[in-house]
């Protein structure tokens, strides 16, 4: 496989895929599951992000992208794209476009995705740069709520039952989603990636999600999380600024761009799998995949559909980021098979 | 060429206009809403500006009933030319009688609809809501009173001058659902003298319901200090005996520092308050040991008012300060004693105030 990106491009793409879309509802899911204990529980689990990536870096050459494995991951990523798009469409319908026909929103998103994924590799790789200033703006406006935070909301801790702990562990998996892409992206990345780079990336990822979680927990009271499913957007909605009536709407559009770039990252991975296995006319295959994609998104762009997709994605993450890599790597090491060094 | 044609075809649906656009000309923007009635039979009052020929902006009113807030709004649309739109709401009024039941029952729709504004002012009103909606005629001019605009300005003044609590729709929701703090809203009444609304005090809530008890204006200011949630200004006046005569002393709050000592059966609230002297006709303030004496008198007076404020809240079983938040977070044994409202009302809460005069204005 020919390297097509530098480590910094790879980490940016991975960051956008891991953070895009679900960061707005992750705090609610986590807090509903583990209550006030959610912040420390997620912090401890988040510390495992670095060793997980370190293991991927250490053994990625033992993870051979056979046709069967590629097909499995291709299906999983296709499903992840359906889930992310359906959640994006649902949220847009609720906040921004309640009267716009759902199919129009889906079509427009799909066309953007198709266009980006059939473009040159550099388009998908560099698209994330657009988000960098917008992420900064997003974080600054979230910080406007700092005077309304109630720090006692973070305490007391240690009142979780074992059931809450399990539910919290399950909910905490969502932000980890997409890290299996490292196994593929690493092949496409030139140069050496040391522990320091991995640690910096994991640190940024952890700080980002801890910020979202603590901000939400300190802003809303615990009972409100049973009603508010997107606390980050709701928090922005409650901020009063002089230049816009609805701050949430501006950030919904930023979040939409974030989600689309995140989807482009996953679509890029699927296109690369086709490239690895020399699939003929991959652009036509991508266009053909839109045929099941659109109705699947349409069908699941509902409250219950998105919730079900979220649960399946969490299980999927456990299989495709933990179990399957472990089995494949152990099997290949046992058999002595590995991808040739670049 | 093919790409250009494809692009043009893709852009065509956008030319037909956005499905979600709303024109101001099709809507009637409502700036003041009042909710009355009771659960299952809610009456919603609307007041909205209308440009009348030659007379400038006039406020029109309308009201409708229904089984809920949304139902009343739907019924309202049966009898208005334009659809009433509350997305630019400035003030939300709740009738004191209606607030004696769970107020969230009336408000769910306000929080659920994304277009609604969450930063609107909220107040409780005494008496009939009709009087507050601007449909009364001024006896002198015969014109409709601009009560909605007046109310918006009054609420801004209340916030700016710390005359009562300053909670918007979002804050109200958060506090109602919070464990360890109760809601307190500005309580308005109609002035018999001016025929306009005026602040009567601060209404105390117990969870989602109005207790029927309220704080007076001084107590409301004390509550703001105790909550550490003062507006831009907070001023109050006491009459002290100085050099054998009664002298009004006005202070302006600068800042304060709190220290709560929470025990198993008692709580001591220590407040160190820094003030500026705004009025003291026996100048100079500094001289003949009067400065220390003044600080002592102010400390005693404010301490007395704060103690009364706490007692009023205990009597109403309404922890508007939010002591319960701290207790819930760090004193779990006390929190677990039972329902916090009962525990709060039975606790021995002592207030200790130390006032430091930091500035004396441009006069000594």
Could you tell me if B165 and B64 lie in one domain? yes
- Last residue within a domain, chosen from B195, B215, B235: B215
In a domain, residue B6? The reply is no
In a domain, residue B10? The reply is no
Rounded to whole angstroms, the Cα distance separating A77 from A266 reads 7
Q: How many domains does chain A have?
A: 1
Domain that holds residue A60: 7-332
In a domain, residue B209? The reply is yes
User: What CATH number corresponds to the domain at position B280?
Assistant: 3.30.300.210
So what's the pLDDT on residue B145?
Answer: 59
Q: Which chain A residue is nearest to residue B331, measuring alpha carbons?
A: A156
Could you tell me if B222 and B209 lie in one domain? no
Going by their DSSP bridges, the two strands B91-95 and B83-85 should be labelled as unpaired
**A303 lies within 8 A of chain B by CB:** no
DSSP A77-144: HHHHHHHHHHHHHHHHHHHT-SSS-HHHHHHHHHHHHHHHHTS-HHHHHHGGGGHHHHHHHHHHHHHG
Give the other-Cβ count within 10 Å of B299's Cβ. Answer: 18
**Count of alpha carbons within 13 angstroms of residue B156, beta-carbon side:** 7
Could you tell me if B221 and B211 lie in one domain? no
Give residues with Cβ within 8 angstroms of A75, minimum separation 6: none
Contact check, Cβ <8 Å, B179/A222: yes
Q: Shortest CB distance from B330 goes to which of A96, A155, A245?
A: A155
- Last residue within a domain, chosen from B152, B181, B215: B215
Chain segment B332-345, per-residue pLDDT in tens: 999 999 999 999 99
Task: Find, among B111, B75, B112, B74, the residue nearest to B92 by Cα.
Answer: B111
Contact check, Cβ <8 Å, B329/A98: no
How close A159 comes to chain B (CA, Å)? Answer: 11
Could you tell me if B203 and B111 lie in one domain? yes
Could you tell me if B276 and B164 lie in one domain? no
Question: Which tokens is B41 given?
Answer: 């039979």
So what's the pLDDT on residue B177?
Answer: 95
Question: For B90, phi and psi rounded to 5 degrees?
Answer: -105, -40
Give the other-Cβ count within 10 Å of A123's Cβ. Answer: 14
Contact residues, B window 100-139, toward A, CB-based 8 Å cutoff: 111, 114-115, 117-119
Rounded to whole angstroms, the Cα distance separating B166 from A308 reads 41
Q: Greatest CA span in chain B, whole angstroms?
A: 98
So what's the pLDDT on residue B60?
Answer: 84
**A64 lies within 8 A of chain B by CB:** no
Question: Which tokens is A57 given?
Answer: 């870096």
Could you tell me if B232 and B103 lie in one domain? no
So what's the pLDDT on residue B142?
Answer: 47
Give the other-Cβ count within 10 Å of B109's Cβ. Answer: 15
Task: State the residue for tokens 């995949």.
Answer: A289
In a domain, residue B16? The reply is no
**B178 lies within 8 A of chain A by CB:** yes
Q: Is A168 exposed, middle or buried (0-12, 13-18, 19+ CB in 10 A)?
A: buried
So what's the pLDDT on residue A338?
Answer: 65
CB B324 within 8 Å of CB B335: yes
Could you tell me if B194 and B305 lie in one domain? no
So what's the pLDDT on residue B280?
Answer: 87
Question: Which tokens is A96 given?
Answer: 């921004």
Q: Is B189 exposed, middle or buried (0-12, 13-18, 19+ CB in 10 A)?
A: middle
Could you tell me if B231 and B166 lie in one domain? no
Q: Shortest CB distance from A224 goes to which of B18, B177, B325?
A: B177
Rounded to whole angstroms, the Cα distance separating A182 from A17 reads 11
How close B11 comes to chain A (CA, Å)? Answer: 10
In a domain, residue A311? The reply is yes
Could you tell me if B186 and B83 lie in one domain? yes
So what's the pLDDT on residue A298?
Answer: 96
Question: Which tokens is A91 given?
Answer: 């949220």
**B175 lies within 8 A of chain A by CB:** yes
Going by their DSSP bridges, the two strands B41-52 and B32-38 should be labelled as antiparallel
In a domain, residue B57? The reply is yes
Question: For B195, phi and psi rounded to 5 degrees?
Answer: 75, 10
Report the 3 state secondary structure along chain B.
CHHHHHHHHHHHHHHCCCCCCCCHHHEEECCEEEEEEECCEEEEEEEEEEEECCCEEEEEEEEEEECCHHHHHHHHCCCCCCEEECCCCCEEEEECCHHHCCCHHHHHHHHHCCCCCCCCEEEEECCCHHHHCCCCECCCCCCECCHHHHHHHHHHHHHHCCCCCCCEHHHHHHHHHCCCCCCEEEEEEECCCCCCEEEEEEEEEECCEEEEEEECHHHHHHHHHHHCCCCCCCEEEEEEEECCEEEEEEEEEEEEEEEEEECCCEEEEEEEEEEEEEEECCCCCCCCCHHHHHHHHHHHHHHHHHHHHHHHHHHHCCCCCCHHHHHHHHCHHHHCCCCHHHHHHHCEEEEEEEEEEEEECECC
Question: For A285, phi and psi rounded to 5 degrees?
Answer: -65, -45
In a domain, residue A342? The reply is no
So what's the pLDDT on residue B23?
Answer: 85
- Last residue within a domain, chosen from B184, B215, B246: B215
Could you tell me if B210 and B224 lie in one domain? no
Rounded to whole angstroms, the Cα distance separating A34 from A163 reads 9
**Residues of chain B with C-beta less than 8 angstroms from the C-beta of A239:** 119
In a domain, residue B197? The reply is yes
**A245 lies within 8 A of chain B by CB:** yes
Q: Is A210 exposed, middle or buried (0-12, 13-18, 19+ CB in 10 A)?
A: middle
Give residues with Cβ within 8 angstroms of A193, minimum separation 6: A7, A57, A186
Could you tell me if B205 and B297 lie in one domain? no
Residue B11 CA: distances (Å) to CA of A72, A107, A115, B201: 36, 12, 14, 58
How close A65 comes to chain B (CA, Å)? Answer: 35
Could you tell me if B206 and B232 lie in one domain? no
Q: Shortest CB distance from B328 goes to which of A152, A219, A240?
A: A152
Rounded to whole angstroms, the Cα distance separating B36 from B44 reads 6
CB B152 within 8 Å of CB B90: yes
Computed on alpha carbons and rounded to an integer, the radius of gyration of chain B in Å comes to 25
Q: What is the ipTM of this complex?
A: 0.90
pLDDT by residue for chain B (364 residues), tens only, comes to 667 777 777 666 665 567 888 888 888 899 999 999 988 899 999 998 887 666 677 888 899 999 999 999 999 988 888 888 999 999 999 999 999 999 999 999 999 998 899 999 999 999 999 889 875 554 444 455 577 888 999 999 999 999 999 999 999 999 999 999 999 999 999 988 888 899 999 999 999 999 999 999 999 999 999 999 999 999 999 999 887 889 999 999 999 999 999 999 999 999 999 999 999 887 676 666 778 889 999 999 999 999 999 999 999 999 999 999 999 999 999 999 999 999 999 999 999 999 999 988 888 7
pLDDT by residue for chain A (342 residues), tens only, comes to 677 899 999 999 999 999 988 889 999 999 999 999 999 999 999 999 999 999 999 999 999 999 999 999 999 999 999 999 999 999 999 998 899 899 989 998 999 899 988 988 888 888 889 899 999 999 999 999 998 999 999 999 998 999 999 999 999 999 999 999 999 999 999 888 999 999 999 999 999 999 999 999 999 999 999 999 999 999 998 888 888 888 888 899 899 999 999 999 999 999 999 999 999 999 999 999 999 999 999 999 999 999 999 999 999 999 999 999 999 999 999 988 666 655
**B258 lies within 8 A of chain A by CB:** no
Question: Which tokens is A180 given?
Answer: 């299996």
Contact residues, A window 103-162, toward B, CB-based 8 Å cutoff: 104, 111, 148, 150, 152-156
So what's the pLDDT on residue B50?
Answer: 80
Q: How many domains does chain B have?
A: 2
So what's the pLDDT on residue A213?
Answer: 97
CB B169 within 8 Å of CB A237: no
Domain that holds residue B334: 216-364
**Residues of chain A with C-beta less than 8 angstroms from the C-beta of B18:** 100
Report CA dihedral (A204, A205, A209, A214) to the nearest 10 degrees. -30
**Residues of chain A with C-beta less than 8 angstroms from the C-beta of B177:** 221-224
**B231 lies within 8 A of chain A by CB:** no
Rounded to whole angstroms, the Cα distance separating B305 from B224 reads 12
**B170 lies within 8 A of chain A by CB:** yes
Question: For A173, phi and psi rounded to 5 degrees?
Answer: -75, -25
Rounded to whole angstroms, the Cα distance separating A270 from A17 reads 13
CB A111 within 8 Å of CB A290: no
**B68 lies within 8 A of chain A by CB:** no
Mutate to test the interface with A, among B83, B166, B169, B177 (most CBs of A within 10 A): B177
In a domain, residue B241? The reply is yes
CB B151 within 8 Å of CB B197: yes
So what's the pLDDT on residue A246?
Answer: 82
User: What CATH number corresponds to the domain at position A64?
Assistant: 1.20.1740.10
Give residues with Cβ within 8 angstroms of B12, minimum separation 6: none
So what's the pLDDT on residue B139?
Answer: 47
Q: How many helices (H) and strands (E) does chain A have?
A: 16, 0
Task: State the residue for tokens 């208005």.
Answer: B80
So what's the pLDDT on residue B53?
Answer: 63
Contact check, Cβ <8 Å, B329/A150: no
In a domain, residue B307? The reply is yes
Contact check, Cβ <8 Å, B20/A98: yes
């Amino acid at each position: 496989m020919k390297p097509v990106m530098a480590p910094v491009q790879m980490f940016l793409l991975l960051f956008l895929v891991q953070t895009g879309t679900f960061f707005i509802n992750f705090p609610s899911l986590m807090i509903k599951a583990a209550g006030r204990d959610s912040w420390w529980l997620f912090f401890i689990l988040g510390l495992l992000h670095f060793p997980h990536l370190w293991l991927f870096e250490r053994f990625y050459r033992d993870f051979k992208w056979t046709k069967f494995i590629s097909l499995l991951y291709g299906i999983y990523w296709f499903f992840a794209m359906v889930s992310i798009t359906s959640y994006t469409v649902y949220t847009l319908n609720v906040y921004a476009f309640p009267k716009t026909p759902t199919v129009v929103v889906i079509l427009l998103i799909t066309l953007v995705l198709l266009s980006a994924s059939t473009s040159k590799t550099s388009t998908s790789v560099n698209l994330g740069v657009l988000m960098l200033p917008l992420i900064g703006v997003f974080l600054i406006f979230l910080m406007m709520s700092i005077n309304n935070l109630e720090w006692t909301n973070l305490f007391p801790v240690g009142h979780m039952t074992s059931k809450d702990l399990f539910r919290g562990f399950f909910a905490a998996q969502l932000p980890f989603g997409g890290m299996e892409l490292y196994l593929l992206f690493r092949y496409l990345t030139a140069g050496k990636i040391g522990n320091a780079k991995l640690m910096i990336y994991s640190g940024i990822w952890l700080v980002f999600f801890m910020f979202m979680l603590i901000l939400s927990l300190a802003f809303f009271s615990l009972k409100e999380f049973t009603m508010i499913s997107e606390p980050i957007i709701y928090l922005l909605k409650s901020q009063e600024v002089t230049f816009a009536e609805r701050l949430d709407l501006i950030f919904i559009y930023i979040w939409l761009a974030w989600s689309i770039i995140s989807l482009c990252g996953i679509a890029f991975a699927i296109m690369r799998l086709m490239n690895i296995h020399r699939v003929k006319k991959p652009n036509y295959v991508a266009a053909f995949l839109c045929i099941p994609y659109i109705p699947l998104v349409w069908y699941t762009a509902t409250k219950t559909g998105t919730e079900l997709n979220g649960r399946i994605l969490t299980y999927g993450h456990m299989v495709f980021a933990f179990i399957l890599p472990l089995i494949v790597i152990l099997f290949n090491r046992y058999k002595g098979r590995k991808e040739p060094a670049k | 060429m093919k790409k250009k044609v494809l692009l043009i075809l893709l852009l065509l649906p956008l030319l037909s206009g956005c499905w979600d656009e709303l024109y101001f000309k099709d809507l009637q923007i409502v700036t003041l809403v009042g909710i009355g009635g009771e659960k299952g039979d809610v009456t919603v009052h609307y007041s909205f500006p209308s440009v009348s020929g030659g007379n400038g902006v006039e406020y029109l009113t309308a009201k409708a009933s229904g089984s809920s807030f949304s139902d009343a709004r739907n019924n309202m649309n049966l009898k208005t030319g334009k659809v009433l739109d509350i997305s630019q709401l400035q003030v939300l009024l709740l009738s004191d009688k209606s607030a004696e039941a769970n107020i969230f029952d009336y408000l769910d729709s306000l929080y659920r609809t994304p277009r609604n504004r969450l930063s609107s002012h909220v107040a409780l009103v005494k008496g009939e809501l009709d009087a507050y909606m601007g449909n009364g005629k001024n006896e002198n001019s015969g014109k409709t009173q601009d009560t909605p605009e007046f109310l918006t300005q009054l609420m801004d003044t209340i916030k700016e001058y710390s005359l009562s609590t300053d909670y918007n729709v979002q804050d109200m929701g958060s506090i109602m659902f919070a464990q360890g703090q109760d809601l307190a809203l500005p309580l308005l009444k109609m002035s018999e003298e001016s025929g306009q609304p005026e602040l009567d005090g601060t209404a105390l809530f117990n969870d989602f319901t109005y207790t029927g008890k309220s704080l007076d204006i001084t107590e409301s200011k004390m509550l703001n200090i105790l909550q550490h949630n003062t507006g831009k200004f907070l001023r109050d006046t006491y009459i002290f005996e100085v050099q054998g005569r009664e002298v009004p002393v006005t202070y302006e709050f600068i800042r304060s520092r709190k220290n709560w000592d929470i025990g198993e059966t008692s709580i001591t609230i220590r407040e160190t308050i820094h003030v500026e002297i705004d009025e003291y006709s026996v100048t100079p303030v500094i001289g003949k040991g009067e400065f220390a004496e003044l600080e002592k008198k102010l400390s005693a007076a404010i301490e007395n008012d704060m103690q009364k404020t706490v007692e009023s809240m205990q009597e109403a079983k309404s922890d508007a300060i939010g002591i319960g938040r701290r207790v819930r977070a760090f004193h779990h044994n006390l929190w677990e004693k039972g329902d916090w409202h009962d525990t709060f009302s039975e606790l021995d809460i002592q207030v200790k105030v130390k006032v430091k005069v930091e500035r004396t204005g441009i006069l000594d």
